Amino acid sequence: MLEKVEAKYCVKLFRRVITIDYGEDVGDLFVRFRHAEHTEGEATSDGEVIIHYDVKGKVVAVEIAGVAAL
């Protein structure tokens, strides 16, 4: 799944995963790679993925809406 996100959105993601949360009711997947006090999420142009960055601009998490669509 992470490889698909990387290829589709040209972003490099970590392979070490801290937590995974699947929202079965809405079909979204949240993958956290690092802990950060403050993050800012940026949606992709199609709105299917939100990439969360820390204050230094490093990717800390990714949220995939409608994970079955990827």
Instruction: Annotate 19-43 with DSSP letters as a single string.
Output: EEEEETTTTEEEEE-S--SS-EEEE
- Could you list the residue range(s) of the whole structural domain that residue 45 is in? 2-69
What confidence tier does 21 reach under pLDDT thresholds 50, 70, 90? very high
What residues have CB less than 8 Å from 35, skipping those under 6 apart?
Answer: 18, 60
Q: How far apart are CA 47 and CA 40, in angstroms?
A: 15
pLDDT winner (highest mean) among 8-12, 22-26, 66-70: 8-12
Q: How many domains does the chain have?
A: 1
Average pLDDT over residues 46-59: 94
Higher-pLDDT residue of 47, 67: 47
Q: How far apart are CA 9 and CA 12, in angstroms?
A: 9
Q: How far apart are CA 59 and CA 51, in angstroms?
A: 7
- Mean pLDDT rounded to a whole number for the chain: 91
